Amino acid sequence: MTHNVKVFLVDDDLLSLNTYRQGLENSGYKNIHLFLNGIICLNNLHQKPNIIFLNHEINDSSTFDLLKKIKQSLPSAYIILISREENIKVSIGAMKHGAFDYIVKGDDDIRKMNNVIERILSLNTI
């Protein structure tokens, strides 16, 4: 089944980006765009992504500043922060700045990403 949702993946690790893309494509999501930094992501918001998976440890800018800029430019986008570590302060900060969810990287990233996307789609706002 192919899903009609536009997904941005933002991570400075090309291996992670390609792994996420392949996993999501295998789940039926075909409209996926990869970005190696936040600035390129910001410059492409005119493409109006529905969902943005944003790596918390991205090197080029403050994640919370990036999150705020995305929400200001595209308030309807669902932003999911992805992090290597479980950190309640980061999780709460992400939600305060407009994130929809927070995922801790692990062995089942694709399953977690799919679960979040399905929750978003069940809201019938896309």
CA atoms within 13 A on the CB side of 88: 0
Q: What is the mean pLDDT of residues 6-26?
A: 95
What's the number of domains the chain is made of?
2
* pLDDT at res. 36: 93
* pLDDT at res. 71: 94
Would you say residue 21 lies in a domain?
yes
Do 105 and 66 reside in the same domain of the chain? Answer: yes
Is the pTM value of this prediction over 0.95?
no
Q: Which residue has the higher pLDDT, 98 or 59?
A: 98
Would you say residue 2 lies in a domain?
no
- Look at residue 59 and tell me whether its pLDDT is greater than 70: no
Q: Which residue has the higher pLDDT, 34 or 124?
A: 34
Token pair listed for 9: 């993946």
Tell me the residue ranges of DSSP E strands in 2-107. 3-10, 29-35, 51-55, 78-83, 101-104
Would you say residue 84 lies in a domain?
yes
* pLDDT at res. 91: 78
Would you say residue 41 lies in a domain?
no
Q: What is the mean pLDDT of residues 70-98?
A: 87
Domain region containing 75: 61-109
Q: Which residue has the higher pLDDT, 122 or 60?
A: 122
Would you say residue 100 lies in a domain?
yes
The pLDDT confidence band at residue 1, using thresholds 50, 70 and 90, is low
Token pair listed for 31: 């409209």
Q: What is the mean pLDDT of residues 42-71?
A: 87
Would you say residue 80 lies in a domain?
yes
* pLDDT at res. 93: 77
The number of beta carbons lying within 10 Å of the beta carbon of residue 45 is: 16
Would you say residue 71 lies in a domain?
yes
Would you say residue 125 lies in a domain?
no
